[in-house]
Amino acid sequence: MDPRVRLGLLACVGVLAVVLDRPQSLGLLVLLSAAPFAVIHVPGGWRSRGLIAALTLVWGTVLSQGFFYADEPRTALVRIGPLSFWREGALHGLVQSLRFVSVTLAGVAVAVSTPVDRLLAAMLSLKIPFGIAFLSVTALRFVPEGAREALVVRRARARRGRPIAHRAPLAWIREELALVRPVVARALRRARTLAEALDARGFDAMAPRAVRRSLRMRTGEGLLLAFVALLTGAAVGLRALYVLYGAEVLYLPRLRWLYGFVRTWL
């Protein structure tokens, strides 16, 4: 698939994550964002880690918002002493976490399945300044390296002492924070090496550059992007229409069924 189509689909996912405000629609968006991983080759270990991270994020957000939701109205589902778990807070946390998970899955899918040089060519084709495009793809290139180094540091720590699960909670937090230090140190060292290499080769972000392999978008890919963009635009328009209705700025009686659809699903 043309990388410009992938970036366009990613942009549509980002817009929909902001526009949609119901767990049902956002859950469907999460499933669509995760669909590419059915064909993308990802090691099984990373699939399980990603799933655990996503579930942890959803659960933590729902739990925190459920206990500390302050808006009105709110309905208590569970009371634990002076604390109450609010239904509206749990739904709010679920919506926010699904937004984050959907965009993250779509971004990871694009980053994993698209070579860095093709992403750079796509950004240049979209008239993004070369300096910004180069910094973006360079930072993206270092993400998997940082993940692998974090895994190596974690394994090395596990082999040097007792498992972290057997430690006290405060000790577990200190160990997790200490885990970040070598990863950040390696990232800074790698960035310095890259900067010195670019400087030694006379890198100039303002110099004109030509793409060695030109991009070609197939007709089917263009139709797919146009269809998704049309759906995204329709969702934005419907949500804007509903906001005007809720603010008592514009109300059309013949569109009552449309207002009900937006309220229920979007």
Q: Region 231-255: what's the mean pLDDT?
A: 86
pLDDT given for residue 69 in this prediction? 81
182 is a domain residue: yes
38 is a domain residue: no
Looking at residue 253, the DSSP 8-state letter turns out to be G
What percent of the chain is modeled with pLDDT above 70? 92
Alpha helices in the chain (DSSP H): 3-19, 23-34, 44-68, 87-113, 116-125, 130-160, 169-200, 219-246, 256-265
Domain coverage including residue 164: 115-217
189 is a domain residue: yes
Q: Region 11-32: what's the mean pLDDT?
A: 90
Q: Region 96-116: what's the mean pLDDT?
A: 87
Q: Is the confidence at residue 230, as pLDDT, over 90?
A: yes
141 is a domain residue: yes
d(CA 33, CA 229): 15
Q: Region 215-243: what's the mean pLDDT?
A: 88
pLDDT given for residue 207 in this prediction? 67
Q: Dihedral sign for Cα 70, 266, 106, 205, please.
A: negative
Of 63-77, 113-127, 204-218, minimum mean pLDDT range: 204-218
56 pLDDT band, cuts 50/70/90, is confident
48 is a domain residue: no
111 pLDDT band, cuts 50/70/90, is confident
84 is a domain residue: no
Q: Is the confidence at residue 167, as pLDDT, over 70?
A: no
Read out DSSP for 135-152? Answer: HHHHHHHHHHHHHHHHHH
Highest mean pLDDT, choosing among 43-47, 48-52, 91-95, 144-148: 91-95
232 pLDDT band, cuts 50/70/90, is very high
Q: Is the confidence at residue 65, as pLDDT, over 90?
A: no
pLDDT given for residue 100 in this prediction? 92
186 is a domain residue: yes
- For the chain, the domain total comes to 1
pLDDT given for residue 180 in this prediction? 79
Q: Which amino acid is at 192?
A: R
45 is a domain residue: no
